[in-house]
């Protein structure tokens, strides 16, 4: 029976990031856009969920140039909590899923507020896989220089900054500075993606926070959105999605999965593909 570890090895092999798993998974690109798969000797529930969630990110027309985002939120739509409460809203299974999304990506993108508040490592330490290039969007060069992305040396880091503020990062040796023109007081999502792809970073994971994910969604730049909802009500806190422009009535398709005590919604924003196991 296919285990979760074997399923993960197979998924990584589809992107050339590990050798092919000895455990066989048969893929079928169905006519309705579903990436159907079959495990001849069966699969554990954890392996089935992993394949359903990850195969659409690795197979199909969008797999080479993919922009996927993830948010973990409370029942009342909060992605950050007031001081004094546990910082992580969703549980351990969603955290492992986030690390898998990093491992399947060339670059992981976060906003300056996420780095300032959480000081994340943005590595794949919870799962087998290579670290992505870490990208922080800091248009006004306001981040402290002691953040892990600039100092730990665990993975390559880029800091995308407004051109007029780029000189403020002259003393940062642990990250490449990418100066871009500001549009008003913000960076253009299209400009950010173009700069990353010029550097060969084509599979992009937008990890947070809520403002950054909202801007990518508002710009129509996301192919896929994963939203994990915890069974908690936070009350006062930072809201999740904040869409400024007109939005579609709903995702082209969405499926839900249990991740421990959380519910993960996999939203296909391009009408592309979903994963589905076949008996």
CATH number at residue 101: 3.40.430.10
pLDDT of residue 26: 86
Q: Is the residue at 278 inside a domain?
A: no
Number of domain units in the chain: 1
Q: Is the residue at 169 inside a domain?
A: yes
Strands 253-259 and 262-268: antiparallel
Q: Is the residue at 116 inside a domain?
A: yes
Cα dihedral 189, 124, 230, 208 in deg (nearest 10):
-20
pLDDT of residue 279: 36
Q: Is the residue at 52 inside a domain?
A: no
Task: Give Dmax (Cα) for the chain.
Answer: 59
Mean pLDDT by 10 residues, the chain (279 residues): 93 87 71 74 94 91 90 90 73 97 98 92 97 97 93 96 93 93 94 97 95 93 95 82 65 84 92 56
Q: Is the residue at 198 inside a domain?
A: yes
Q: Is the residue at 172 inside a domain?
A: yes
Q: Which domain holds residue 158?
A: 64-270
Q: What's the pTM value of the predicted model, to 2 decimals?
A: 0.92
Q: Is the residue at 222 inside a domain?
A: yes
pLDDT of residue 277: 47
Q: Is the residue at 41 inside a domain?
A: no
């Amino acid at each position: 029976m296919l285990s979760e570890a074997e399923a993960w090895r197979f998924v990584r092999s589809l992107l050339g990031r590990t050798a092919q798993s000895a455990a066989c998974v048969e893929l079928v690109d169905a006519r309705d856009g579903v990436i159907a798969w079959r495990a001849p000797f069966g699969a554990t529930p954890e392996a089935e969920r992993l394949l359903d969630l990850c195969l659409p990110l690795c197979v199909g027309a969008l797999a080479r140039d993919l922009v996927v985002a993830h948010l973990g939120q409370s029942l009342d739509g909060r992605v950050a909590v007031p001081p004094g409460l546990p910082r992580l809203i969703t549980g351990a299974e969603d955290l492992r899923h986030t690390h898998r999304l990093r491992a399947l990506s060339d670059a992981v993108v976060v906003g300056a507020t996420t780095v300032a508040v959480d000081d994340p490592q943005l590595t794949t330490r919870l799962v087998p896989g290579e670290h992505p290039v870490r990208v922080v969007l800091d248009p006004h060069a306001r981040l402290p220089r002691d953040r892990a992305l600039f100092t730990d040396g665990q993975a390559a880091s880029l800091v995308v900054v407004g051109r007029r503020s780029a000189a403020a990062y002259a003393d940062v040796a642990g990250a490449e500075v990418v100066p871009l023109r500001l549009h008003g007081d913000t960076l253009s999502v299209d400009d950010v993606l173009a700069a990353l792809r010029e550097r060969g970073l084509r599979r992009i994971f937008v990890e947070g926070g809520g403002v950054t994910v909202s801007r990518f969604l508002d710009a129509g730049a996301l192919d896929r959105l994963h939203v994990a909802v915890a069974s908690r009500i936070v009350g006062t806190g930072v809201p999740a999605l904040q869409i400024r422009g007109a939005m579609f009535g709903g995702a082209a398709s969405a499926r839900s999965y249990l991740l421990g005590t959380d519910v993960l919604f996999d939203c296909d924003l391009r009408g592309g593909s979903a994963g589905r196991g076949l008996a």
